[in-house]
Amino acid sequence: MKNLRKITILTIVLCLIPMLLFAKHLHPEKYYQNSWCAEQDGQVEYRLPDMTRCDCLTETYAVEVDFARKWYEAVGQSLYYSMQTGKRAGILLIIESEKDMKYWIRLNSTIQHFGLPVDTWMIEP
């Protein structure tokens, strides 16, 4: 009986973990990625020669889509996708609240300061 109770509790906890992971965001990243990429007539999850995937490949851009707090990861990924595809690097930053605007400023300030060949867009819910 004790083992059954432990198994039941463990099962409930394991089922709640995915819900807790997405609870901090209004939508999963894929939601924003699919929506924006479709508007741009792009290809979602374009597979590169090394088997990595560009979030959205359009006629002119290789775009990384990320939540605002991960802006710094998006810089490197977008530049890598650009190098692999020969297209211009782009970052679509997901801004879900006013607090996220500080990341938008950090992203664009860094790009401007270093003269990086990256264009940026934001998407909100």
In-domain check, residue 116? yes
In-domain check, residue 106? yes
- For the chain, where are the E strands, in sequence order? 43-47, 53-57, 61-67, 88-94, 118-123
Q: Name the one residue in this structure whose structure tokens are 């004790």.
A: 2
In-domain check, residue 1? no
In-domain check, residue 59? yes
pLDDT digits (tens, 9 = 90+) for 4-34: 565 656 556 555 555 444 457 777 789 899 9
In-domain check, residue 53? yes
In-domain check, residue 117? yes
**Cα separation of 76 and 124, whole Å?**
22
In-domain check, residue 5? no
CA distances from 97 to 48, 69, 104 (A): 32, 11, 11
In-domain check, residue 85? yes
pLDDT for 20 equals: 47
Please tell me the pTM assigned to this model. 0.79
- Report the domain count for the chain: 1
Domain that holds residue 32: 26-123
**Cα separation of 76 and 118, whole Å?**
10
pLDDT digits (tens, 9 = 90+) for 42-96: 999 999 999 999 999 999 999 999 999 999 999 999 999 999 999 999 999 999 9
